Structure 1
Amino acid sequence: MSVTFSLGMQRAFGEGWRGAIRPLVRDYIDRLADEVGSPPSIERAQALTQRLPVTLRIEGPLVQWQSGPDLDDLPPLPPPPLLLPPEHRRHMAHGPGPGADAPDHPNHPGRRTWMVRQTADGHTLTFGVDVRSFVRQPQMVGWITLAVLLTLTGLAYALVRRLFKPLDDIAAGASRYGQGDFSQPIPVRRADELGELAQRVNHMATDLSGMLDAKRALLLAISHELRSPLTRARLNAELVEEGAARDALLRDLGEMRDLITDLLESERLARRHQALNLEPIDWAGLLQQAVQACATPDTVHVSHSGEAPAWQGDRTRLALLLRNLIDNALRHGAGAPVEVHAAWSAQALTLTVRDHGPGVTPEQLAHLAEPFYRTDAARGRSTGGVGLGLHLCRLVAEAHGGTLQFAQAEPGLKVIVTLPLSGPQTAGHASA
């Protein structure tokens, strides 16, 4: 707005205004020359310069006069062609062209337009008109108007920002609530509709937080209560005679124990700012242990790129992450080898686990890390667990400040885990 206004001002009060006023000034100077007379009258010239904001210098064979001493340094202007008739010479101005204005002499304050008229008896009348005075006042008014407009615009912007500040607070609060952080309510800044909306969102967040806490408490209580009967059932099963029935019973009890353990771990990791047991991690050794724990370690190929930097994490949960990813790849890899690649950079560790199985559909890809999600609609036990393995992997990665993503490998599925080297250290996690 400032640039547009400035260019418009320059155009209007510079070239436009001068172009409009110059013909009027020329005609007016002609009338002033007629008033001075021929031969020039000093009395009329004095009265004219006292009455009007003009300066005048008269040079000729009979009269030599100027309106003030400030015209002493005015450079002489060449006389107009004497061969022209008087009525033509009378309207001739010297300088860049007929009637053109020229800047004032350096010793003269301000800027003037000099116009020369030739009388019939050979006298030269040099008029100095301060045309800039006609432009200064409109320009001053224009600049003042621009300053007022900018001030009002700034005040309006500040007022609008103040009016919409509650909406920013509500948007930030909704984002926090969506991520499961209910610790900081939305500030209620005003007692109007926006303030009432903030209060309603806070009440909704309080209700949601209470329901989630009740659900977690119920799940944890049930899981804890089931552990003791399962332990006793497993001890009793150990006393049964060896055979297929005993092995099936122990296997089912083991799966129920693993399910309860996974449920407890998922609820712990789902809590924001879940504490981690941070310690230095030897990634090469951790990967080797995860591979050795597999039923068929010879089908897992491990590769590295880059040098592993010093990094701290939760060893138990990272081992759970690696074990679940490798087990999932082996289960769905159709007997083909599983590829595990660890790449280190200055910012993060990128862990890629790929199988060569049939893969999943694009619709299933977005739901793989959801709890209890199974690609097998029949949910047969022979095709996988209960759907908590990849969900736990995502929770472990997020607890360390990282991400877990899935991609089609063609053939097979690729799981990419990115763990920033500053993740858990800057997340405010403490020792559990």
Structure 2
Amino acid sequence: MRKNRYGGHDRRDKQGLQPGRWRRRWRHSLKLRLVTMFVLLALAMTAIFMGGMQRAFSTGWRDAAKPLVADYMDRVVTELGTPPDVAKAEALVTRLPIAIRIEGPQVNWQSHPERFEFRERAGLGTRGGDWLSRSTADGHRVSFGLGTVPWQRGPHGLFGWLTLALLLALIAGSYIYVRRLLRPLDDIGAGAERFGRGDFAEAIPLRRRDELGDLAQRINAMAQDIKGMLDAKRGLLLALSHELRSPLTRARLNAELLPTTAHGNGPGEPERAALLRDLGEMRDLISDLLESERLASPHATLHREPVDLAALVREVVADMPDAGAVVLDLAADLPVLALDRMRIRLLVRNLLDNALRYSEEAGQPPRIVLSRQDGGMLLEVRDFGPGVDAEQLARLTEPFYRTDSVRQRATGGVGLGMYLCQLVAQAHGSRLEVRRAEPGLSVRLLLAG
């Protein structure tokens, strides 16, 4: 089953070609609609032209040719004699593209039976008021029709097939031309998709100097402007973060050096602890902002080295004072992967800190699972807390996002932990999978070997 662009599964692959699929494709494709319009226009013009010409010839030329044909038929009947001579009729049919039928008391003969049967089935008839028939004095009736025309003899019938082949070739040529004409639209669509992902390295190619070429050039200029604004925003954020770290460090140092007294000469211990906690949150916020901007940059580089992920998980758990009760389910003989140690450590610490924060009232502690899967290693961190609503799962990795129920600012954090984990996973060619565990929340990450 194939995944669609939004991450869900497309059921059409299971069902095969559904009715109306080509209709939807035709409605979506400008090239197909243009070629269809050209073909229908050509067919309509041909039908109108042929119908009009046939109408003109059938009314004008028929009236003009009728007396000439009638006089010619009278002469032919006279030439055949009384009774009609079959030998003369055969010689006449051989020389001219006409069909003759003789009906009477002495002679009954016809040169092209199929021609007259067709006339009778078509309701044209050969008796009564048919002006293509003549009666002789001895009671015979001579009827005339169209015989074998010259283009029906020999290889001339190939002209019809050649005409059809030429028509199909013109249709194929028009489609190729329209496809080439609208090819810049495909380039513009692919370029817009790249720009939407934040990839501005490759511009839209300029294939022609027409309206579509001008549109591609303007979109390239817009992309460069957007890239410049994003770079300026990122540079400003990094500069502000760097500039704020120094005064925050001095403020925290001064707060720690303040004397504590209960007689009003200095802040009390609770006030000092609250001040240090606020300064620590600001320091962590600035550190997370700096790291997130580094990872989000297209020029971010990883310092890969062989990492024993199981040992790294144990180190992170040992360094966290509240993680003593965490359950570790680490498989044996796990491979050593080439990872960025510091950033994977940041990922594990953030996931574990998040799980501990929301497991305070849970019945059991968080759980970390490390196992082999698909030639790589699967890391799963699960808590047994209240969890989140299903519609909020997709937004947990957004920066500064906090749910409006349990996961609030009062519980700690600024909403950058899961976002940083997502950036670290993407930098390693993977992504976080966040899902409800019933109870709690499960975060999984597959690291390739």
Instruction: Please indicate, yes or no, whether the TM-score normalized by the shorter chain is above 0.5.
Output: yes
CA–CA separation in structure 2 for the residues paired with 1:136 and 1:416: 78
Contact 2:422 2:431 in 1 (8 A): yes
Deviation at 1:218, TM superposition (A): 1.1
Match of 2:410 among 382, 385, 392: 382
Residues 1:366 and 2:394 aligned together? yes
What does 1:68-217 align with in structure 2 at a 5 Å threshold?
Answer: 137=155, 140-141=158-159, 143-145=161-163, 147-217=165-235
**Residues 142 and 172 from structure 1, CA distance in 2 versus in 1: closer, same or farther, beyond 3 angstroms?**
same
Residues 1:287 and 2:313 aligned together? yes
Match of 1:297 among 323, 332, 351: 323
1:113 equivalent in structure 2: none
User: 3-state DSSP class of the match of 1:173?
Assistant: helix
User: 3-state DSSP class of the match of 2:380?
Assistant: strand
Match of 1:409 among 437, 443, 449: 437
1:264 equivalent in structure 2: 290
**Structure 2 unpaired stretches of 5+:** 1-85, 96-150, 261-268
Residues 1:309 and 2:335 aligned together? yes
Letter in 2 for 1:178: G
CA–CA separation in structure 1 for the residues paired with 2:256 and 2:212: 65
Match of 1:344 among 338, 349, 372: 372
Q: Of the two structures, which has the highest relative contact order with CA contacts closer than 8 Å and spacing of 6 or more?
A: 1
Match of 1:224 among 234, 237, 242: 242
**Structure 1 unpaired stretches of 5+:** 1-33, 36-46, 52-132, 422-432
Letter in 1 for 2:446: T
**Residues 246 and 191 from structure 1, CA distance in 2 versus in 1: closer, same or farther, beyond 3 angstroms?**
same
Deviation at 1:180, TM superposition (A): 0.8
Deviation at 1:380, TM superposition (A): 5.2
User: 3-state DSSP class of the match of 1:166?
Assistant: helix
Letter in 1 for 2:215: L
Deviation at 1:187, TM superposition (A): 1.7
User: 3-state DSSP class of the match of 2:272?
Assistant: helix
Letter in 2 for 1:367: R
1:399 equivalent in structure 2: 427
Query: Whose helix proportion is higher, 1 or 2?
Result: 2
CA–CA separation in structure 1 for the residues paired with 2:237 and 2:339: 27
CA–CA separation in structure 2 for the residues paired with 1:136 and 1:414: 81
- The size of the alignment, in residue pairs, is 306
**Residues 271 and 141 from structure 1, CA distance in 2 versus in 1: closer, same or farther, beyond 3 angstroms?**
same
Match of 1:252 among 253, 278, 282: 278
Contact 2:309 2:337 in 1 (8 A): no
Between the aligned residues of both structures, percent identity stands at: 56
Deviation at 1:212, TM superposition (A): 0.9
TM-score, structure 1 normalization: 0.63
Deviation at 1:332, TM superposition (A): 1.2
Please list the CA deviations of residues 355-381 of structure 1 after superposition, one character each: whole Å capped at 9, or x if unmatched.
Answer: 111111122212111111111479854
**Residues 136 and 181 from structure 1, CA distance in 2 versus in 1: closer, same or farther, beyond 3 angstroms?**
farther
Please list the CA deviations of residues 306-337 of structure 1 after superposition, one character each: whole Å capped at 9, or x if unmatched.
Answer: 85334211110011011101111111123431
User: 3-state DSSP class of the match of 1:302?
Assistant: strand
CA–CA separation in structure 2 for the residues paired with 1:330 and 1:270: 27
Contact 2:306 2:337 in 1 (8 A): yes
Return 168-177 or 372-381, whichever deviates more: 372-381
Contact 1:400 1:419 in 2 (8 A): yes
1:94 equivalent in structure 2: none
User: 3-state DSSP class of the match of 1:351?
Assistant: strand
Deviation at 1:200, TM superposition (A): 2.3
Contact 2:396 2:418 in 1 (8 A): yes
1:9 equivalent in structure 2: none
